[in-house]
Amino acid sequence: MPLIFNLGCEADLCAKVVRKLNAQEGDLELRHFPDGESYVRVLSDCVDQQVIILCGLDQPNSKLLSLLLVANTLRDLGAARIGLITPYLAYMRQDIRFKDGEGITSRYFAALLSNHVDWLVTVDPHLHRYNHLSEIYSIGTMVAPSAPVLADWIRQRIESPLLIGPDSESEQWVTEVAALAGAPYLILEKTRKGDRNVQVSIPNVEKYTDRVPVLIDDIVSTGHTFIETIKHLKALGMPPPVCMAVHGVFAEGALDGLYEAGAAQVVTCNTITHASNAMDVSSILAQAAQALLDT
Ligand code: R5P
């Protein structure tokens, strides 16, 4: 029976993953000394055990060190194999050197994690210029696909949807969700001119004006990709759209900005705890982890 140590994920998500993997929750003491250093004590017997660390990697810089210290402690105490379930995998967007002198941080982060855990499961990472996590991770990896979760949500709540991907990168998710939801889709063209400056162009949508637009992206961060799309849809006389993202990273003020721009609803998966969480990823995480536990 695998032991799951929860480093900060929502208790409900952890309980569901524990149940679906027929696992047991491990006991851990993790706190800070007065000078800010971390104190780690593993209270469960992990000798020769399959152990899993459940740790979301949103706000990664504040979480990474604890994760690495716990992984090292578990290894030191005799764990047989250490897996990481991270519902959101950070440091995937800097996948090339866009400007001279930049670090390709996705690679460095991947190398770091690969040195400390034996396998990794995550929900749809931002794979843009990489096709697969194995291009940067040297450990076993498995992607838990969110498309069935998004498609279920749409099928159960929206009678006549038109799925819209705000840029070419979103095509990989949107086409899959559209096929599973049995809905038409459009992919737009996006030009990003800065962190908060995004332009999108929308092809002819006249034939879909009777449908509810559902914008789908892997990440919503500042919200500007969705906001620009909402503005264009409004100008074209489309009804207020539903905005769906797999991972709600949400920079300060982003959710309010989306509603102010005219979103009918903003929904995300519970890969990052947020008020917009409406879709549960525990089943897909457990399925992917089970596949790696079985290897
Ligand atoms: C971009 O490459 C991603 O797929 C998302 O479109 C992007 O991260 C969304 O960011 P924002 O909400 O800041 O426009």
76-125, pLDDT tens digit by residue?
999 999 999 999 999 999 999 999 999 999 999 999 999 999 999 999 99
Helix axes 11-20, 282-293, angle to 10 degrees: 40
Whole-prediction pTM: 0.93
DSSP state of 15: H
Q: Which residues contact 155 (CB under 8 A, 6 or more apart)?
A: 181, 182
pLDDT tens-place string over residues 57-75? 999 999 999 999 999 999 9
Confidence of residue 22 (pLDDT cuts 50, 70, 90): very high
Confidence of residue 235 (pLDDT cuts 50, 70, 90): confident
- Both tokens of residue 74? 């578990």
Model confidence at 196: pLDDT above 90? no
Cα distance between residue 40 and residue 28, in whole Å = 7
pLDDT of 37: 95
Beta strands in the chain (DSSP E): 3-6, 24-25, 28-32, 38-42, 50-54, 81-86, 119-123, 140-144, 161-165, 185-187, 189-194, 197-201, 212-220, 242-248, 265-269, 277-279
pLDDT of 6: 98
Cα distance between residue 93 and residue 99, in whole Å = 14
Closest CA to 273 of 11, 5, 2, 63: 11
241 lines ligand 1 (CB under 6 A): no
pLDDT of 125: 96
Instruction: Please give the mean pLDDT across all residues of the chain.
Output: 94
Model confidence at 49: pLDDT above 90? yes
Model confidence at 202: pLDDT above 80? no
Q: Residue 247 C-alpha to ligand 1 middle, in angstroms?
A: 10
pLDDT tens-place string over residues 255-270? 999 999 999 999 999 9
8 Å CB contact between 188 and 166? yes
* % pLDDT > 90, the chain: 84
At position 152, the amino acid (one-letter code) is D
Pocket test for ligand 1, best of 174, 218, 244, 255 (most atoms within 8 A of CB): 218
87 lines ligand 1 (CB under 6 A): no
pLDDT of 170: 86
Confidence of residue 128 (pLDDT cuts 50, 70, 90): confident
* % pLDDT > 70, the chain: 95
219 lines ligand 1 (CB under 6 A): yes
Instruction: Give the number of other Cβ atoms within 10 Å of residue 169's Cβ.
Output: 18
Selecting among 63, 190, 193, 207, the annotated active-site residue is 190
Decide if 190 is catalytic: yes
pLDDT tens-place string over residues 160-192? 999 999 888 888 889 999 999 999 999 887 676
